[in-house]
Structure 1
Amino acid sequence: MDTIVSHRGAAPLGPSPRERRGWLYRRRSPLRLTRSPSRGAPPPAAKRRLTGPTRADRWKMDVQKQVVSRLRAAFQAGVTAPEEFRRAQLTQLGSMIRDNEEQIVAALHRDLGKPKFEAILSEVDIVMNELHHAISNMSGWMQPEYVPKNLATKLDDCFVQREPLGVVLIIGPWNYPLQLLIAPMVGAIAAGNCVVLKPSEISSATDSLVADLIPKYLSQVSCARWQRLRAGASPPGERLELSNRLVLPPQDCYAVVRGGAEETKALLQNRFDHIFYTGRSLGLILILIPDLGLIFDLGLDLGPGLISILGR
């Protein structure tokens, strides 16, 4: 193989560094490379990161922190633990769907153009089936599951007792704004959790309807009255009233947070025991959560053909 050597004073052989950089940019021209900003000017994303949250952002985070704190206080007080409470919540959730079926169908038509048949088949009926399944099997789910014994545990009682996680967050998508928001909520309520719902802001009509109906149907009686009912200290009239309604103020067990990406990012500043996220885009999970430095238990419904493993 021939070797070409250049000596001092001779013209260098081959392209200069500037020419090589020019070739690189010409070869990568389909990517539309742009010049980097000047050394003293940070990119826009860095500017936003350096300036920190605005006053409006801090206000949103404070409000959402108060909401999550109230839900966690209710959970730690054991309000959502009794089977009677869970069954009453699920019954009222079914009443909410049945009583407002026409409004739900109209909202789905405004958001997505779904006809009545499709809206009932793909949204309403699926939620009602989930409710019926949960109400019918909840007693069995709450019972301890006995497991096989070995020689070391022959004289012991070995079983698995399922316990609720705590405060869970459900982030719904825009294409099935009722089914993929309320159906996970059914399982969360049946398990004895407090729930924060985050509907999609794209399906604005359904978003507004859910935010309006949830406080009207779920948990409308004070915690003190519920404790009196459990202790048997309520008068007959109050027991009859409580049997026809739900327990606890809506902000104490279930909450609906509306808004877009900024509100969701502010919401994720809080600690949740489980997050159920539906969507094909993982930008929310992969970008926001690592930046916050928090660890979440995630349930992902990503659709066909998209499988991801998240770790830290």
Structure 2
Amino acid sequence: MNDSLLHALRQNFQQGNSRSYAWRRQQLLNLKAALYRHEEAIYAALSADLKKSKEEAWITEIGFVLSEISYVLRHLKSWMQPQNVGTNLLNFPSKSYLLSEPLGVVLIIGPWNYPLQLVLAPLVGALAAGNCAVVKPSELAPATSAVLRQITASAFKENEVLLVEGEGAAVIPRMMEAFRFDHVFYTGSTQVGTIIYQLAAKQLVPVTLELGGKSPTVIEPDANLEVAARRIAVTKFSNAGQMCVAPDYLLVHQSVREPFVQHLKKAIDDFYVSEAVRDYHYGKVVNQRQFDRLLQYLQEGTVLYGGSYDAPTLHLSPTLLADVRPEAKVMQEEIFGPLLPVLTWSKEQEALDIIARNNNPLAFYVFTENDKKANWWMEQVPAGGGCINNVSFHLTNHNLPFGGRGNSGMGAYHGKYSFDTFSHKKGVLKTPTWFDPAFKYPPFKGKLNILKRFMR
């Protein structure tokens, strides 16, 4: 890639072209219009890359981004206003406020599982905050990457938003070593996130890392088992389980294991046909490497349900696994596929010990009708976010931050949190000149008591 394109972004930002409300609003409107113009092309690309149906593509990709744009447009002007804060006695009668200023030129690196949404949703926040951006879609979703190239080319100038394609392992290090970005936003695996973090640290570049982890789901004896089964099934097997906030394993109280498993089997039967390869609503595994990895997991437990696959089309049916050993790979690594281990517990500490083997998950879910129990679980399990009697839908609420902690990432976005992620909060103190007391100036001898009074 020509480095002059990166420097053109820097020059455009330094000229102040991206700072105004009018520019930010127009960029978001341009992106919104481009998504509608390319709607059919997006459907075709997501079908080619992941066999997503139009309905799933709209809900989880196109519509998700459009909703984010609409929310940001409604609030952007107020977010840009200085935010008044209190002033201490020492600085009386000064005025204090926070000013949100753009960071500069940011780099957004997207994954392959939601290859449109997870590139464009962060971009919405970056543009709203007044930045120029480089976006790097995943090469593992080539059809969607090609459509994203068309979308960005039609919506932006190259010195506003630059799309870069190619193999990430080669392209990203070269860019980050040749050019200092003002922020790097990465969504993907913990392994690659560690590399991104190291590259950024060399130049003290701040990062947002949206990683993964093994998100547990606890089923209490008093849970509504039928509702729990349906809500778990619809989310876990969406996109063939290739979702960072999908339940990674279940922890079912032993007293309700059998009825819950029956409800879960019925829910899967209701949602998908028995041969998933022919199901319009059921996706495929992204590539052969991921498919082979998932097949290895099949050998690490007893298949309670599913387990069928079609290698030529990379389809693996929704599968429930039992008798999984804690040291098995399927319990050590993020599954990221349509396999769901079902574990049991009788005392809370048993479940907590299992969760602690992969602490700080991206999400934690609990199903119970008891508010006290629900709150107890939420307090006991450190996680990026979570739901009570629901799964994954916390990420659809613009008012909630979405992000991880520890091994599941750092930083957050969505709605106002995206704007804040791509902004710097500048603290400003404005002091009038009509009041200028002598006690603030040397000599200070004899002023100790009055200084103590003002600085309590």
TM-score tier after normalising by the smaller chain length: 0.5 to 0.7
How far 1:295 moved relative to its partner?
2.1
Query: In the alignment, residue 175 of structure 2 is paired with which amino acid?
Result: L
After superposing the two structures, state which structure 1 stretch, 179-188 or 283-292, moved more: 283-292
- 1:86/1:192 contact within 8 Å kept: yes
Given candidates 295, 298, 305, the residue that maps to 2:204 is: 295
SS at match of 1:159: strand
Note if 1:152 corresponds to 2:90.
yes
- Partner of 1:90 in structure 2? 28
- Partner of 1:164 in structure 2? 102
Query: In the alignment, residue 133 of structure 1 is paired with which amino acid?
Result: Y
- Partner of 2:176 in structure 1? 268
How far 1:251 moved relative to its partner?
1.6
- Partner of 1:253 in structure 2? 160
- 1:86/1:189 contact within 8 Å kept: yes
SS at match of 1:175: coil
Query: In the alignment, residue 127 of structure 2 is paired with which amino acid?
Result: I
More strand by share: 2
Query: In the alignment, residue 207 of structure 1 is paired with which amino acid?
Result: S
**What is the TM-score when the length of structure 1 is the normalising length?**
0.66
How far 1:288 moved relative to its partner?
7.8
In 2: Cα distance, 1:70 partner to 1:90 partner: 21
SS at match of 1:300: strand
In 1: Cα distance, 2:139 partner to 2:187 partner: 14
Query: In the alignment, residue 254 of structure 1 is paired with which amino acid?
Result: V
In 1: Cα distance, 2:203 partner to 2:174 partner: 13
- Partner of 1:193 in structure 2? 131
Query: In the alignment, residue 97 of structure 2 is paired with which amino acid?
Result: F
Structure 2 runs not aligned, ≥5 long? 214-360, 363-405, 411-456
For residues 16-44 of structure 1, what are the alpha-carbon distances to aligned partners after superposition, in whole Å with 9 as ceiling and x for unaligned? xxxxxxxxxxxxxxxxxxxxxxxxxxxxx
More helix by share: 1
In 2: Cα distance, 1:259 partner to 1:73 partner: 25
How far 1:161 moved relative to its partner?
0.4
Note if 1:99 corresponds to 2:37.
yes
- 1:265/1:288 contact within 8 Å kept: no
Moved over 4 A (4+): none
- Partner of 1:214 in structure 2? 152
Query: RMSD in angstroms over aligned alpha carbons?
Result: 1.8
1:283–1:164 Cα change, 3 Å = same
- 2:197/2:207 contact within 8 Å kept: no
1:287–1:212 Cα change, 3 Å = closer
In 2: Cα distance, 1:174 partner to 1:88 partner: 28
- 2:184/2:206 contact within 8 Å kept: yes
- Partner of 2:400 in structure 1? none
- 2:84/2:96 contact within 8 Å kept: yes
In 1: Cα distance, 2:197 partner to 2:90 partner: 47
1:98–1:117 Cα change, 3 Å = same
Given candidates 102, 122, 132, the residue that maps to 1:184 is: 122
Q: State percent identity of aligned pairs.
A: 38
Query: In the alignment, residue 289 of structure 1 is paired with which amino acid?
Result: Q
Structure 1 runs not aligned, ≥5 long? 1-59, 219-249
- 1:173/1:180 contact within 8 Å kept: yes
Mapping of 1:48-87 within 5 angstroms? Answer: 60=1, 63=2, 65-87=3-25
- 2:60/2:117 contact within 8 Å kept: yes
In 2: Cα distance, 1:273 partner to 1:292 partner: 12
1:84–1:284 Cα change, 3 Å = same
In 1: Cα distance, 2:56 partner to 2:196 partner: 35
- Partner of 1:7 in structure 2? none
For residues 78-110 of structure 1, what are the alpha-carbon distances to aligned partners after superposition, in whole Å with 9 as ceiling and x for unaligned? 000010011011001000111211111110000
**What is the TM-score when the length of structure 2 is the normalising length?**
0.46
How far 1:284 moved relative to its partner?
5.3
SS at match of 2:138: coil
SS at match of 1:252: coil
How far 1:165 moved relative to its partner?
0.2
In 1: Cα distance, 2:72 partner to 2:112 partner: 25
Mapping of 1:36-51 within 5 angstroms? Answer: none
- Partner of 2:274 in structure 1? none
In 1: Cα distance, 2:63 partner to 2:174 partner: 33
Given candidates 164, 181, 186, the residue that maps to 1:277 is: 186
How far 1:302 moved relative to its partner?
0.9
In 1: Cα distance, 2:100 partner to 2:152 partner: 27
SS at match of 2:114: coil
In 2: Cα distance, 1:213 partner to 1:275 partner: 21
1:287–1:214 Cα change, 3 Å = closer
Query: In the alignment, residue 263 of structure 1 is paired with which amino acid?
Result: V
